[in-house]
Copies of this chain bind each other. A is one copy, B any other.
Amino acid sequence: VFSPIRWTDGALELLDQTRLPAEEVWLRCETPEQVADAIKRLAVRGAPAIGVAAAYGLALAMRAGRSEPPEERLDQVCELLGDTRPTAVNLHRTLERARRSVAERPGLDHAAVAELLLDLARELHREEDDVDRAIAAYGAALLDSGERVLTHCNTGPLATGGYGTAGGVIQAAWAAGKLREVWVTETRPLLQGSRLTAWELERAGIPFRLVTDASVGTLLARGLVDRVVVGADRIAANGDVANKIGTYPTAVLARRHGVPFYVAAPRSTIDPGTPSGEDVPIEERDPAEVRTVLGVPVAPAAAPASNWAFDVTPHELVSGIVTEVGVLAPPYDEAIARALER
């Protein structure tokens, strides 16, 4: 099974997603600082994959002969990794789980804590794949035969480290013979759609067509899309969805044209502590990403730009949230509360 995250010879290796689709380069990380850097510069991205990579990053933290007590070192590294991407809730959940795990076994030395954290990382990685496969099965079951699915950004194995969320639904639907083709939005500024999703779909032999982000209205108005399936970076307790910028316009247009709009995400993406979309911190990234494309200037060098990474889709535009415990339907506050209890 393909995963862009692997543990090899005592270090974390990440498929550098900033180099795709031109080159397949694996980054070797031997310190949590290198992992934090890889997360920050999006060599690894996608909320679930960030969580998995961060878990391995914690395991790396204990390995060199450190003088601080393991708990102190863990706190430092949790802070370092937690600061990389503010919107991704899985990341914070992973760090919390590691802290609890270590707190439950006081008195372990560095090596023992390192082993504990590596086991945890591997477990998280496996869980991610299991969860993805359950999401994919529930999502694929929604599709009718011959559907054309529109997706945004990247939510396949590159995004989760496992089978993929929305990308997993697409793979499972293709495997079930239900999918006619996939519309892939390029997803500026970082082009996760054209660079990563197109690469994944080509690799998997799934028919797709790439469009600019501004083409979504045309696709829907022309009746070329049967269903929208996207991922999520954070889901609020009321079902509002924070996801890659461009998701909200797509949801508005899907509603206008009567096309179902689904969000596929593990329960770990749901944050019961975030009451609604208004409460999600939206990361603003470097304006230079807008002024350039893969490093090539496309605007006057001093042009001011705004670069929000995510937008918020209000729950009333969401037809269903596909999780590993089934498809949640409105009213979402209740469905979410029940799903989290299970």
A interface residues, Cβ below 8 angstroms from B: 21-22, 185-189, 191, 194-195, 198-199, 202, 207-218, 221, 244-246, 248-249, 252-253, 256, 287, 290-291, 293-294, 296-300, 302-308, 311-312
Contacts and interface: CB of A to CB of B under 8 A. Distances in A.
Contacts of A308: 215, 218
Contact of A245 (B202, B209, B218): B218
Query: By DSSP majority rule, is chain A's interface helix, strand, loop, or mixed?
Result: mixed
A20 to B, nearest CB: 9
Nearest to A287: B210
A189 B217 contact: no
Contacts of A302: 202
A252 B195 contact: no
Contact of A249 (B189, B249, B298): B249
Contacts of A186: 188, 290, 298-299
28 contacts: A187-B214, A188-B188, A188-B212, A194-B290, A194-B291, A202-B302, A208-B303, A210-B287, A210-B290, A210-B306, A211-B307, A212-B246, A214-B214, A214-B244, A214-B245, A214-B246, A214-B249, A215-B306, A216-B249, A217-B245, A217-B248, A217-B311, A218-B308, A221-B311, A252-B253, A293-B294, A293-B296, A293-B298
B217 A249 contact: yes
A311 B221 CA distance: 9
B216 A300 contact: no
